[in-house]
Amino acid sequence: MDLKGKKVIALGERDGVQGGAIVECAKSAGAEVVLEFTSCFV
């Protein structure tokens, strides 16, 4: 996937995929991460 030039908001879940992991994937695809958030959705 090519995300060059795109801005990303990474919303993660504490018990699932965390925001930091999403950030690393998005950055490796060329995106600019503008917000990263990990929360517990109970």
In a domain? residue 31: yes
In a domain? residue 32: yes
* Interacting residues of 33 by C-beta distance below 8 A, sequence separation 6+: 7, 8, 9, 10, 23, 26, 27
Which pLDDT tens digit goes with each residue over 2-34?
899 999 999 999 999 999 999 999 999 999 999
Separation of first and last alpha carbons in the chain: 31
Per-residue pLDDT for 41 more than 90? no
The pLDDT value recorded for residue 1 is: 79
- Which residue reads 């996937």 in tokens? 1
In a domain? residue 13: yes
Alpha carbon distances (Å) from 23 to 28, 31, 38, 42: 9, 9, 11, 23
The pLDDT value recorded for residue 42 is: 76
In a domain? residue 1: no
